[in-house]
Chain A
């Protein structure tokens, strides 16, 4: 333990001696810090019987884990300390005893309630600078420390009810003082209240305040951005806070009167010539000064050139760019402003629309009936192919049409018309067949055409005739007669006679019509008659 103690103490010393930026850089200082933390931990151990750790484990642990260990130790410590404080509050005499003990023991470096208090204050911080701070505080052991501790304890006693580990009234007050110091003057920085988070030597005593304040005041007077420069030298009487400010604080000692009053009275920055050296001005004089300043302002404004809006007719070149936009110009509008669409307007419109729809009274635009014009003449299409007729034929046709319209050959349009009408007739026929109950078929237009008894395939196909023997003519057309055909050898005598008589009759009929002129081929004749 002693070895640890020594090394720990040395570690603390070392930490304290290092510059603050070194802490930020990763360096061997971490080893030292760990040693110091371990030392402190072991110091606190006797006061915390409930903690699970005997010593602070730092080898291979990171900052978060080390901190957790410390935290676990310190939580019950805090509650026990509160108990102690209450006890002291009831019996203040005990404090003295402990305080003396602390003074004696501190030199040895033994853990005391003193250290506990220090550590107590310190352990609220979140970084490893706690060691340094506690170190810093340990140094101020001259006696001021006691006072500080006492005051801190008192403050802690007072504020027990409100405080917890998150909120400390002392911290709040210190913060407020900081703010005020920034606003009113720089003296508050030197106050003792800012022991937290700062590595400065809190070596200021109450005795030194007067001197420092006066020095600061001289400094402050040169600064012109303080409205309440009077507050700079405020702390002659008040060490703690502004709540006990007095008249002298604002309108302080006589040797600084003139400077301060000049600052109060004159609002513009002509305080450069503030060394008039006259006595403090009365109210009347102050008012006069105000009036004078106003008068001067007005005269100055009159002498200056007028604003462009006051100059009468101003063209664009005479005023700054886009300045007309900033000014509220008033001019006549010839157009009616667009109607503001409010809810009532839309409601009325919609009602009208609905009623119109119900009535079915739409104001549709109806096409005006066009006048009956003469029938559209046939738009003669431009034919851009070479004309098949010669020029002579063209004129010939024209002449014929002019002189004798009946004989005029059908023009191209007529042929087209014919074709169109034929197509339409066919279509109508088909539609009639489908739709009429009493359908009348089309009239048969008898056409004469010669059908030769050539095999159909020959007419239709290029293939050789021998492939098919389908004939164009129907069988009845080829041979008309009954099925009973008898060969000549099969005929009976009566039938032979009958045939011969028939033949004779025919021949006679024919010869009566056409007298025989020449000798004809009887074979063909017989053949013909046989076919009839």
Chain B
């Protein structure tokens, strides 16, 4: 009797049956992914950015809260970001944090917002002393060379490479796509090393032409 049962079981198993349909799950929300836990990010505010933050607070708050659906608040000289239940994507929090951090570095809100909108944008920072050891007047001159008269060299690099550059004393921050950052960085390094602005311009012209051709 037992054998029959097993045979029957086997037989039932070997019978061609339609496999159940694959289950389709909705993508996990950030909230669910972390098992209901809330994720935080904290961005400290440097003292020189405190006033600009106050002025541009609403411009920061609105896209983060409404478009990114990330909770944002300012507390004791820190900007805190927190995921909500309806935060659509895991990366939103990180993007928002990067956006706020870019603002703290010195970028404009309109420029930093591109971080929210595009994935492939990054911020790179380096110091002048990483490129060349300069002291005193040489350092000042190098900084002057980087910016140019009225900032025109910096703007030229920005416009031709589609990046944004912030020169904060001896630190340099570049915001943009990876290849563009590379080009901008090369131009800036050549300026630090001492090449004249005209030379950098000519290189930029060539590079921007190739960049334009690609698209």
Say whether A associates with B. Answer: yes
Q: Which residues of A contact B155 (CB under 8 A)?
A: 383-387
Q: Which residues of A contact B152 (CB under 8 A)?
A: 384-385
Closest CB of chain B to A398's CB: distance in Å? Answer: 7
Q: Which residue of B lies closest to A401 (CB)?
A: B215
Let me know if A395 is at the binding interface, CB within 8 A. yes
Contact with A along B96-118 (1 / 0, CB 8 A): 00000000000010110110011
Let me know if B65 is at the binding interface, CB within 8 A. no
Q: Which residue of A lies closest to B118 (CB)?
A: A395
Let me know if A391 is at the binding interface, CB within 8 A. yes
**Which residues of B from 156 to 174 have beta carbons under 8 Å from A?**
156, 158-160, 162-164
Say whether chain A's binding surface is mostly helix, strand, loop, or mixed.
Answer: loop
Residues of A in contact with B (beta carbons under 8 Å apart):
377, 379-380, 382-387, 389-396, 398, 401-402
Are A380 and B114 in touch, CB under 8 angstroms?
A: no
Cross-chain contact of B111 among A391, A398, A401 (Cβ < 8 A)? A391
Q: Which of A386, A389, A393, A398 has the most CB of B within 10 A?
A: A386
How far apart sit A383 and B161, CA to CA, in the bound complex (Å)? 11
Subset of 14 A-B contacts with CB under 8 Å? A379-B205, A382-B201, A382-B208, A383-B156, A384-B148, A384-B159, A385-B152, A387-B158, A390-B111, A391-B110, A391-B111, A391-B162, A392-B113, A393-B110
Are B175 and A391 in touch, CB under 8 angstroms?
A: yes
Q: Which residue of A lies closest to B205 (CB)?
A: A382
Residues of B in contact with A (beta carbons under 8 Å apart):
108, 110-111, 113-114, 117-118, 121, 148, 151-153, 155-156, 158-160, 162-164, 175-176, 201, 204-205, 208-209, 212-213, 215
How far apart sit A398 and B162, CA to CA, in the bound complex (Å)? 10
Q: Which residue of A lies closest to B116 (CB)?
A: A392
**Given the known A-B contacts A390-B111, A395-B117, are A402 and B205 also in contact in the complex, defined by CB atoms under 8 Å?**
no
Closest CB of chain B to A412's CB: distance in Å? Answer: 12
How far apart sit A393 and B175, CA to CA, in the bound complex (Å)? 14
**Given the known A-B contacts A380-B209, A382-B201, A398-B215, are A390 and B159 also in contact in the complex, defined by CB atoms under 8 Å?**
no
How far apart sit A398 and B208, CA to CA, in the bound complex (Å)? 14
Q: Which residues of A contact B117 (CB under 8 A)?
A: 392, 395-396
**Given the known A-B contacts A391-B162, A395-B162, A402-B215, are A382 and B209 also in contact in the complex, defined by CB atoms under 8 Å?**
no
Q: Which of A390, A391, A392 has the most CB of B within 10 A?
A: A391
**Given the known A-B contacts A391-B176, A395-B117, A395-B118, are A382 and B215 also in contact in the complex, defined by CB atoms under 8 Å?**
no
Known: A390-B114, A391-B176. 6 other contacts (CB 8 A): A380-B208, A382-B156, A384-B159, A387-B159, A391-B111, A391-B121
Q: Which residue of B lies closest to A402 (CB)?
A: B215
Q: Which residue of B lies closest to A396 (CB)?
A: B117
How far apart sit A386 and B164, CA to CA, in the bound complex (Å)? 10
Q: Which residue of B lies closest to A393 (CB)?
A: B110
How far apart sit A208 and B148, CA to CA, in the bound complex (Å)? 115
Q: Which residue of B lies closest to A387 (CB)?
A: B159
Q: Which of B110, B159, B176 has the most CB of A within 10 A?
A: B159
How far apart sit A393 and B152, CA to CA, in the bound complex (Å)? 21
How far apart sit A379 and B202, CA to CA, in the bound complex (Å)? 11
Q: Which residues of B contact A396 (CB under 8 A)?
A: 117
Are A382 and B114 in touch, CB under 8 angstroms?
A: no
Are A379 and B159 in touch, CB under 8 angstroms?
A: no
**Given the known A-B contacts A382-B159, A382-B205, are A391 and B164 also in contact in the complex, defined by CB atoms under 8 Å?**
yes
Q: Which residues of B contact A389 (CB under 8 A)?
A: 110
Are B159 and A377 in touch, CB under 8 angstroms?
A: no
Are B205 and A380 in touch, CB under 8 angstroms?
A: yes
Q: Which residue of A lies closest to B197 (CB)?
A: A384
Are B215 and A377 in touch, CB under 8 angstroms?
A: no
